[in-house]
Amino acid sequence: MEAGGGGRAVVRPSPRLRGRLRVPGDKSITHRALLIGALAEGQSLVEGGSDGLDCNSTAACLTALGVRIERLGEAPGGRIDRRIRSPGRAGLRLEPGQILDCGNSGTTLRLLAGVLAGTSLQALLDGDASLRRRPVARIIEPLRSMGAGLSAREADTVPPLSVHGRSRLRPIDYTTRVPSAQVKSAILLAALVAEGTTTVRESVATRDHTERMLGSRGVRIEVRQGNEGERAVSVEGMMPVRAMDERVPGDLSAAAFFLVAGAAHPDAEVTIEGVGVNPTRRAVLDILRRMGADLDERTLPAQGAEPAANVTVRSSDLRGIDLGPRDVAGAIDEIPILCLAAAAARGRTVIRGATELRHKESDRLGGMAVGLAALGVPVEVEGDDLTIDGRPGGLVGTDLKALGDHRLAMTWAVAGLLAPGGTVISGAGSVDVSHPGFFADLERLHS
Ligand code: S3P
């Protein structure tokens, strides 16, 4: 395997996959530990956080806002310890005219907008070409109704996003229009300065790291779960956020690539150590089990407010399944690699209601369909549904494009492990967004 810069990687099949790996710290939890650490006056340590470009974008924006963030030591396997010293929300400052560059990171942009909505600052948030195509109306609407001033390009639909904060906001009772942890979190972070209780309702439970972290830092937060999987999260405003150390578990979304590689490979046994298995994030494990994957979870002591486990995968006889909108919401970042699992499985997989995939770092629905077809897999897209006819042992090596999307680059790398002939990935350097050592880790499993 050769990998290079922003450029090309060539991945070839390996006769056996064996080994134990630690993946980078969870990206979603790292963003939150940095942002919530910045809201708390004083010192917080973030141990084992992600050193990917996305989390570094969050750290750089916070530094521009006057938060001191120090990197402690090396970053083995994309995990880094950081010390945060913050003046607290009221002490955040910004040089006039300075743009907050969120890079490729939708989480940085949307969560930071929630933080800034509750300050007396005026800020402009921007990012790369991919981020400039991603929807922001979904946060503008609720944050405006709380009293903050927000506007964006093209009739308030896409970044750059301007935020004119207020140090006191109105509480709201808001039902999200799409299942989105970013929208929910932006509202909850703004709600910390609301004069009363804010409630966010969602029809499907999305990742709850913000709720857990705020709760463990002394904020009064209540979660009510309905019978159909819907949730209501209420947070009380005007409560201080305590500075606190956080230990970040491994990123299950990063682990998913190796888990599918192991399950689909004919001779594999791979363990991912210390990975987060939060119930709102673990859908990928449950979906892989439904597909027949041989997965074994060993529970570890919780990492702060987050459950963790060692997860072992062995070669499996995968079969196609039907996935609906709830599955898509629960495994939103893992759908690309689950599509590859489907391509390597016996029978048909149908994924329904994958609309949100079109609004990620790339149009992942379109990108997956093109790439899978090039790998020789019969695939059909109809509206926002995807049908994949699996071909166990039938992928053929080819040239694939990452389209500037880290999760497509990693999906195609796993395809390269299974497809005879060599798979060439252009734009492979995008893996640095979430997993800087990805190709080295993949190489380590070859034996
Ligand atoms: C994230 C939420 C999800 C996910 C993204 C990270 C988060 O986005 O796709 O990678 O950390 O809150 P949406 O909230 O837009 O679904």
Predicted local confidence at residue 3, as pLDDT:
42
Phi, psi torsion values for 69, nearest 5 degrees:
-125, 120
**Dmax (CA) of the chain:** 62
Q: Say yes or no to pLDDT of 5 above 70.
A: no
Q: Say yes or no to pLDDT of 1 above 60.
A: no
Q: What angle do CA 281, 286, 292 make, to 5 degrees?
A: 150
CATH of 2-24+250-445, one of 3.40.50.720, 3.65.10.10, 3.50.50.60, 1.10.10.10: 3.65.10.10
Predicted local confidence at residue 6, as pLDDT:
63
Confidence class of residue 75 from pLDDT cuts 50, 70 and 90?
Answer: confident
What are the residues whose beta carbons fall under 8 Å from the beta carbon of 415, sequence distance 6 or more?
A: 11, 340, 343, 371, 375, 395, 400, 423
Cβ-contact 195, 169 below 8 angstroms: yes
Predicted local confidence at residue 77, as pLDDT:
81
CA of 205 to the centre of ligand 1 (A): 12
Reference 13, options 425, 415, 435; nearest CA is 415
Q: Say yes or no to pLDDT of 400 above 60.
A: yes
Task: Please tell me the residue having the least CA distance from ligand 1 atom 16.
Answer: 180
CA of 26 to the centre of ligand 1 (A): 12
Domain chopping of the chain, boundaries: 2-24+250-445, 27-247
Q: Counting atoms of ligand 1 from 1, which one is nearest the CA of 185?
A: 12
Predicted local confidence at residue 50, as pLDDT:
98
Q: Tell me what the pLDDT averaged over the chain comes to.
A: 96
Mutate to test the pocket of ligand 1, among 209, 284, 332, 365 (most ligand atoms within 8 A of CB): 332
Reference 101, options 61, 157, 53, 152; nearest CA is 61
Summarised one tens digit per residue, pLDDT across range 286-317 is 999 999 999 999 999 999 899 999 999 999 99
Task: Please tell me the residue having the least CA distance from ligand 1 atom 10.
Answer: 333
Q: Identical fold at 2-24+250-445 and 27-247?
A: yes
CA of 207 to the centre of ligand 1 (A): 8
Task: Give the H or E element holding residue 252.
Answer: helix 252-264
Q: Which residues line ligand 1 (CB under 6 A)?
A: 28, 31, 107, 180-182, 185, 207, 332-333, 356
Task: Please tell me the residue having the least CA distance from ligand 1 atom 9.
Answer: 333
- What sections of 334-429 are H helices per DSSP? 335-343, 364-374, 406-418
Cβ-contact 311, 296 below 8 angstroms: yes
CA of 393 to the centre of ligand 1 (A): 33
> Active-site residues: which are they?
333
CA of 105 to the centre of ligand 1 (A): 10
Q: Counting atoms of ligand 1 from 1, which one is nearest the CA of 359?
A: 15
Reference 46, options 274, 307, 249, 211; nearest CA is 249
Tell me what the mean pLDDT of segment 132-159 comes to: 98
CB burial string 339-374: b at 16+ within 10 A, e below: bbbbbbbeeebbbbbbebbebbbbbbbebbbebbeb
Cα–Cα dist 377/385, whole Å: 16
Predicted local confidence at residue 397, as pLDDT:
97
- What sections of 76-193 are H helices per DSSP? 106-117, 137-145, 153-156, 181-190
Cα–Cα dist 58/112, whole Å: 8
Q: Would you say domain 27-247 falls under CATH 3.40.50.12780?
A: no
